[in-house]
Structure 1
Amino acid sequence: MTQTILYARVSTAEQTISHQKTQAEAAGYKIDQVVSDDGVSGFTTKLADRPEGRRLFDLLRSGDTLLVRWVDRLGRNYQDVTDTIRLLMRKGVIIRTVINNMTFDGATTDPMQEAVRDALIAFMAATAQAQAEATKEAQRAGISAAKRDERKYLGRKPSYSQGTLSLVTDLLSQGSGTSEVARSAGLSRQAVLRIKADPAAAQEVLSRWSN
């Protein structure tokens, strides 16, 4: 008896397995079983290396249908996705996507139809990888911007360390002059004067940069 297995993969908090199942059922698919991997990257982890991905390969038999929201659920690496789909087709498994309602199987023996099918698989797999790379680049840009904003919030990086600050405050408390303290600590007179004027503020700035 053949079955339809939905494979769902989620890698972020915004995605859910239940949503992928609901979306498939709303499209008219009758699902016999759901296999899912939660918190797994499709970019760095091959389907065969995922905990439930391995089980999926064991469950699928000739004539079964593997249902996915889109090919990016199988993976976001071009080579892995194309290899996986071709392997499953050779096994006699039908692969269907909820989005675009695409069907891939090994039923056809016509060379032209095979060429069109394989070209479409390649295009979809390449698109999945390109989208993943674009997302990662946007994330990197966002992190860099956040770091720049954080540095603006922190203000100018202090020219002294915790040890230097302690030395300055100790010398000042002993009545040492500004120039003498500056020479001993290796700081400018202006830096020493700022610390002298508000030692608590100097400590706060240093603490922010140390976190």
Structure 2
Amino acid sequence: MTKTFLYARVSTSEQTSEHQLVQARDAGFDILDEDVITDHGTSGVSTRLADREGGKELLYKLREGDTLVVRWLDRLGRNYRDVTDTLRELLRRGVTIKTVINKQTFEAHPKSATDEAVRDALIGFMAAQAEAQAQATKEAQAAGIAHHKATAPEKFKGRKPGFTRVQFDQIAALLDAGLGHSSIAKETGVHRNTVIRIARDKSAADVALSRWGM
């Protein structure tokens, strides 16, 4: 018996597989809850479908005559080569792929060579578009981060340490010597709670100083 699977890749906390399932059902796809396969917090750029836990399950379960539904091809991935290779392998297996957005259908068994050529060209175009969008998003994010680093560095550096490099070195030395937190605070002029935080994680305190060029 053939099945219809939904593959949902969820890469951020704002996305949900439930939302993608609702969209698919609203578009007319009859999908059982147990036939929804999801990858959570997975990049579509750096991680191939075959290397994701959900992707492995999907590739194992799909059989000839089955239908794979995705919100759009970018759910399968945002790497042109990975997406096109995956789609062509599934089509060779006899799996038909359908998208919720734009309602595209990639038939496993096209009626003619012309239909097959059109199908393959469309796959290439959509996969290239997904990668291009991912690259554009990455560049926009990088530009935004650079802008905010220049205009609001405190948001990226975190709170400025309440101690200097000299005080940090003094605290570290006194901690190594076995002095108590209260005594160190009195000796260095640094608040006792700050001394305790440094004692718990010296490396984090060192990194915080470095971020602020201290």
Distance 1:207 1:2, change over 3 A: closer
Unaligned stretches of 5+ in structure 1? 155-160, 167-205
Does residue 112 (structure 1) correspond to residue 120 (structure 2)? The answer is no
Does residue 24 (structure 1) correspond to residue 24 (structure 2)? The answer is yes
1:208 deviation in Å? 8.7
Q: Which of residues 34, 37, 42 in structure 2 aligns to 1:35?
A: 37
Distance 1:207 1:122, change over 3 A: closer
What are the within-5 Å matches in structure 2 for residues 11-160 of structure 1?
11-32=11-32, 33-108=35-110, 110-151=112-153
Aligned partners of 2:123, 2:94: CA distance in 1, in Å? 16
1:163 deviation in Å? 3.5
> How many residues end up aligned between the 2 structures?
168
When normalised by structure 1's length, the TM-score is 0.73
1:209 deviation in Å? 2.5
Output the aligned Cα RMSD. 2.7
Q: Name segments (4+ residues, structure 1) moved above 3 Å.
A: 151-154, 161-164
1:14 deviation in Å? 1.6
Aligned partners of 2:21, 2:211: CA distance in 1, in Å? 46
1:108 deviation in Å? 1.7
Unaligned stretches of 5+ in structure 2? 158-163, 170-208
1:207 deviation in Å? 9.9
Counterpart position of 1:190: none
Counterpart position of 1:3: 3
Counterpart position of 1:162: 165
Q: Which amino acid aligns with 2:166?
A: G
* Structure whose CA Rg is larger: 1
When normalised by structure 2's length, the TM-score is 0.72
Q: Which amino acid aligns with 1:7?
A: Y
Could you list the per-position Cα deviations for residues 94-147 of structure 1 after superposition, in whole angstroms to 9, with x for gaps in the alignment?
A: 100000111112212522221111110000000000000011111111111111
